[in-house]
Amino acid sequence: SSGLLKLTSETERSRGQAFYPHHINFKNSTNGSVSSFSTIFVFAILSKYHGLSSNGMAFVISPTKDFSGAGGSQYLGLFNKSSNGKATNHIVAVELDTVQSTDLNDINENHVGIDINGLISEKAFPAGYYEDGNGRRQFRNLSLISGKRLQVWVEYDGVGKRMDVTLAPFKVSKPKTPLLSLHRDLSSIVNNEMYVGFSSSTATIVSSHYVLGWSFKMNGQAKDLTLSQLPKLPKPKKISRLLTIGLPFILVTVILVAVSGVVYYTRRKRKFAEVVEDWELEYGPHRFKFKDLYFATKGFKDEELLGAGGFGRVYKGTLPTSKLEVAVKRVSHESRQGMKEFVAEVVSIGRLRHRNLVQLLGYCRRKGELLLVYDYMPNGSLDKYLYNQPKLTLNWSQRFKVIKGVASGLLYLHEEWEQVVIHRDVKASNVLLDSELNGRLGDFGLARLYDHGTELQTTHVVGTIGYLAPEHTRTGKATPCTDVFAFGAFLLEVACGRRPISQSPVDEVILVDWVYSCWREGDIVQAKDPNLGSNYELEEVELVLKLGLICSHSEPEARP
């Protein structure tokens, strides 16, 4: 009744659409070309978690209002994996995207794009607007998930065959320069009878997508919106009448609680003390309070312990405010030397976005220790399924999916991100499984960054025996090739269900040597995990074993 249009409900993996109920004739009756049109709308995206968002929304021109077969998440409720990009879709959209999906070639996690028949944008640009003043034009960034109201203008010139998209803050006049323009004749894309409206979706992080006002017109300029008359965004719930009636009692109680709180805080201040230096102020959004992590993990109780390794203990936690499930890793760090560079690296790694990487959410620092906060993976680490059989096991198709996922994540680290990331500890125990048993490469405690094309520095040799490339132990220099060597050991580990180095009753067994001997005998598949039984694809198993051998080659140049 307020006129506020809410596209998505506050639930995970939901989608929502809203369209003008009647179709609109888009084409000129004389020559069949698409006529000029324009639209203006005001929108806002409110996230349940500050600074985090699921997915964005889109203004849509479509031949149908039925999107029952579409997927949520990165497909914005418009397409699914198989329909995305098909010429038969006849859909034009302007996406306001808040997540970087590498498989859709997104430029970043905060951009505007013009899409035709799919969500790989024909043209995209970071969200913002051009401000003219004092004879100069300056670009101002805008956050699509700020929770603030934003204006969008979409205009198509039917004669010049050009689409302009312009973005601006609420109550700011339309900028003279569009955010992005696309020269494209839409006549082969748009049918005569089309519907116009909006679509959005959410993933694991809940967001609400609102349209506060909308104007659309064919063959002319859309009517300006009266911004002062637009509905307001939802406010926090009002205090109940019970609190109002009992206000004097509540005030006394609050004062008593406050006094008790001061005493309690004074006693526990030392317990929750943190180390914060001036240079860390710029990393504010990436830093967690130790107190929040303490309560999230129930005081780092043993029953919340997920695992322990050479670089720290990992605990499950639920953040008190957002209720987001996380994994918290406590790493001892007595020296302040290099801490500034290390924290900067942690924050940089936190900007990595890939479906096969465990998201590093941030950090906290205390005297003598560093705490790293990751997404929680409910199915734990892969090694538990390889070495706890038959109680826990994965069939071949599940293992092959994990292998492909880790390969995709490693390719992103080495070649597809803005910097090269050397993981330096690729192994089964560092591959975590999400709720759908997708493999995600985690534990960036040893990772190192460097710019593409720069010379690598020699460091201390770190990693796990059995996964270390010969040249790494010899020179101390970690490279993408040393990660590939570790990936080769990982491939053999998953396919064979055996550790890279294991003890037999007689002597030590080197897995890569054993698989190589099977290959020399002409039956490499005999090296597979016997727990797989006969339920596997012969060609896939053979491919993984041979690729594992090639990646494990002693010469870096011979590795793929």
Structural domains present in the chain: 5-229 (2.60.120.200), 270-375 (3.30.200.20), 383-558 (1.10.510.10)
Q: pLDDT in tens for each of the 560 residues of the chain?
A: 578 999 987 777 788 899 999 999 999 988 899 999 999 999 999 887 666 666 889 999 999 999 888 876 668 889 988 899 999 999 999 999 998 888 889 999 999 999 999 999 999 999 999 998 777 889 999 999 988 999 999 999 999 999 999 999 999 999 999 999 999 999 999 999 999 999 998 877 778 899 999 999 999 999 999 999 999 998 744 444 454 455 566 777 888 888 777 766 666 555 555 666 655 665 555 788 899 999 999 999 999 998 876 567 899 999 988 899 999 988 776 545 556 666 766 777 778 889 999 988 888 888 777 888 999 999 999 999 998 877 788 999 999 999 999 999 999 999 998 888 888 889 998 999 999 999 999 876 555 555 555 555 555 455 678 889 999 888 888 899 999 999 999 999 999 999 999 876 556 689 999 999 999 999 999 999 999 988 899 999 999 999 999 999 999 999 99
By the 10 Å C-beta count (0-12 exposed, 13-18 middle, 19+ buried), 238 is classed as exposed
Strands (E), 63-146: 92-97, 111-116, 123-126, 128-133, 136-141
CA distance 442 to 424: 11
Residues 6+ apart with CB under 8 A from 74: 55, 99, 101, 103, 104, 119, 201, 203
Per-residue pLDDT reduced to its tens digit, 364-374: 888 777 888 99
**Neighbour-count burial for 433-450, b at 16+ CB within 10 Å, e otherwise:** bbeeebbbbbbbbbbbbe
3-state SS, 216-276, equals: EEECCCCCCCCHHHCCCCCCCCCCCHHHHHCHHHHHHHHHHHHHHHHHHHHHHCCCCCCCC
Whether residue 320 is preceded by a cis peptide bond, meaning omega within 30 degrees of 0, is: no
Residues 6+ apart with CB under 8 A from 153: 38, 39, 40, 164, 165, 166, 174, 178, 222
Q: Can you state the angle between helices 538-551 and 511-520, rounded to 10 degrees? A: 120
Residue with structure tokens 């198993």?
541
Of 113, 148, 152, 356, the C-alpha closest to 232 is 148
CA distance 290 to 299: 10
Residues 6+ apart with CB under 8 A from 258: none
Structure-token pair, residue 560: 């793929």
Residues annotated in the binding site for ATP, as ranges? Answer: 329
SS3 132: strand
The answer to whether the beta carbons of residues 177 and 69 sit under 8 Å apart is no
CA distance 14 to 76: 10
Catalytic residues: 425
Per-residue pLDDT reduced to its tens digit, 192-237: 999 999 999 887 777 889 999 999 999 999 999 999 999 999 874 4
First to last CA, the chain: 61
pTM (predicted TM-score): 0.51
CA distance 513 to 93: 55
3-state SS, 305-332, equals: EEEEECCEEEEEEECCCCCCEEEEEEEE
Of 55, 23, 348, the C-alpha closest to 201 is 55
The answer to whether the beta carbons of residues 413 and 442 sit under 8 Å apart is no
